[in-house]
Amino acid sequence: MSTLTPDPAAPAAIERRGIRLGDVLFKGVAAVAAVGVAAILALLTYKIFALAWPAMQEFGLSFIWSQDWNPTTNVYGALVFIYGTIVTSFIALLLATPLSIAIALFLTELAPKRLASPIATMVELLAAIPSVVLGLWGILVFGPWIAQHLEPWLQSWFGFLPIFSGDPSQAGVLPAALVLTIMIIPITSAICRELFSRVPRDLTDGSLALGSTRWEAIRRVAIPYAAPGISAAVLLGLGRAFGEAIAVTQVIGSGNQINRSLFPPGDTLASRIASTYQGAGSNIEVQSLLYLGAILLVISLITNVSAQVIVNKFQKARRMSTG
Amino acid sequence: MKRVLTLMLVVASVAAIAVTAGGATAASAKKQDTNLSGAGSSFVFPLVSKWIPALGSAYGYNVSYAPTGSGAGIAAVTARTVDFGASDAPLTADQAAACKGCVQVPWALSATSIAYNLPGLNCILRLTGPILADMYLGNVTVWDDSRIKQINPKCTLPSTKITPVYRSGNSGTSYNVTDYLSAVSPTWKSKLGVGQSVAWPAGVGASGSSGVAATLKKTEGAIGYVDVAYALANKIRFASIQNASGKFATPGLRGIDAAAASLPKKLTGDGAFSIVNPPKGNPLAYPISTFTYVIVPTSSSKAADLRKMVYWAVTRGQTFGAPLLFQKLPLQVQAFAFKQIKQINS
């Protein structure tokens, strides 16, 4: 604005006072911080690829679609873990997104204030549980409960689906996906709550005044208004789910096969790295684990970039429709 | 708010003074305390826990040991974040190279038990190596399989599904078990081999002995493996295993001793001795017995103390093992250990 029309009220002296030390310092610190973070990301990516390079040369791109992971023959492939990462994260997202939106709507639109704030705090406290503690609970309580109750129940109703076939198991892909769901709900629901509380009252009130019901106002006004933010929140949750290692390691059972059913053990990229990096028997195993790390890094970068693209697209569309 | 802050500051400074003062008096009381830190094998942890106070009174050593697992122990001593590592599996060639001048010393001898969860079973389960291999390969899937029934004529076996439980990640106990399975099953040897982690084709992974125990406890029909000291301490039932003489042996002191008797009289090499599936002639031998190793850098500022500690462990320390089902090292292994210890010098 100042470039177009200089503020007539501002004293001319300020503009002419020149550069002060504080400004220079601040600018310098800010620039170093920003460039430093970018440099760390670049160096880290470089280093991981450089360290994984021998494995990349040895196995090539076929590493990505090979199912073998055999430390005794030193033949490695990532498909089991890529599959495990995508399936557990996708299920977690599928469950967490509607739940988070429902929690956020309940807290902003429906719940009485006296109830809303303690519940909101509780949901956010869920995020404060260290993942290793959640994993322990998964081993001792949640996993056995899933194997004894949830999986038999799913099987009796939906057993015709291959994903719910086979024997129940307390460690497996399904328990891992459910633990991830619990981990990402606080993140996505907190962001969604923030988004819904920012929907202008005028819009919803207007909608209600025009005769729409509460539900219609939420569906036609609040949700479309918050949509870009929700999709960004979902992708943030996805990033968290992709990278979670410890809790997943504790409940996924470190299987070495791809199964059609969700009950048997599997493994994810992050949890395989966490469980076998220490004491890996050979250099090529270490390099292959770093190769897994590189794949995880690329997948995460792609999700983050697509999150930004989606948000941008939504915003453009909104500007078009309103302006 | 300001008053609260001041109060907190006062409390904090008082605490700090108390701590430094306490630390100073403690330090002046025992000046010759040497701190030795170790990490690794959870297998040997019960024994090391008995050694720690004894080493303290014998030499004034302040030994700490974290049972993080053999793999983690190797990683820690390689990174020199601890003074010594402990592993139930000998170092692989790459690991030995990465550790740069480490020496491994066999310092304890015990066995891995095959534990199972079959509530209400009216007998002690008997198993053979090939059956165990087929369970872990996913070929024998139910407990009333004819092969299991045949060797357990007195048991009423249920038709429960068998769930093999293995250690996820790198584990010395896994090394011991896969070493044994490779010795008794050609299929196992060619498909999976020996290692701290292998490509387990069936079953469920759990982290640590405690993870295996927890999964075992919660899964009816599960079979797993834990070191015998752990099984004993946690009252886990374990099977007797058929040895090469055709007898069913239990992982007791006599069984372990008989297995170690299969070693040649003169030992050479880098200190890796396998005593799984010992040959005929030792009817008592328990076939899944193993040495476990301490890994020490040959040169460090604490080399003299480490040498003393390891020497003590392979001599005096051996007498502590019996109640925990650790057998004394055979004489030729002890002699070999002395040779290895000589390499540790400051």
Residue in this structure with the two tokens 């792609």, named with its chain if needed:
A302
For residues B216 and B117, the answer to whether their CB atoms sit within 8 Å is yes
pTM of the predicted structure, to 2 decimals = 0.82
Whole-number pLDDT of residue A9 = 55
CB contact under 8 A, A278 and B69: yes
Token readout for B258 is: 């008989």
For residues A292 and A49, the answer to whether their CB atoms sit within 8 Å is no
- Report ipTM for this prediction: 0.77
Choose the closest CB to A254 out of B93, B94, B168: B168
d(CA A243, CA A52): 18
Of the candidates A118, A99, A97, A101, the residue with the CA atom closest to the CA atom of residue A109: A101
Of the candidates B204, B202, B199, B209, the residue with the CA atom closest to the CA atom of residue B178: B199
Whole-number pLDDT of residue A139 = 87
- pLDDT tens per residue, range B40-93: 988 899 999 999 999 999 998 999 999 888 888 999 999 999 999 999 999 988
Buried b (16+ CB within 10 A) or exposed e, B72-92: bbbbbbbeeebbbbbbbbbbb
CB contact under 8 A, B204 and A70: no
pLDDT < 50: residue spans in chain B = 1, 17-31
Which chain A positions have a beta carbon within 8 Å of B143's beta carbon?
A: none
Whole-number pLDDT of residue B26 = 44
- pLDDT tens per residue, range B192-227: 999 888 999 999 998 888 889 888 988 899 999 999
Whole-number pLDDT of residue A124 = 85
Whole-number pLDDT of residue B244 = 92
d(CA B135, CA B165): 10
Whole-number pLDDT of residue B109 = 93
d(CA B90, CA B103): 10
H helix or E strand, kind and range, residue A75 = strand A75-76
B204–chain A Cβ distance below 8 A for any pair: yes
Question: What residues pair up with B112 in beta bridges, in sequence order?
Answer: B227
Whole-number pLDDT of residue B87 = 92
pLDDT < 50: residue spans in chain A = 1-2, 323
Which residue in chain A has the smallest CA separation from B208?
Answer: A250
Please tell me the distance in Å from A253's CA to the nearest CA on chain B: 4
CB contact under 8 A, B218 and A170: yes
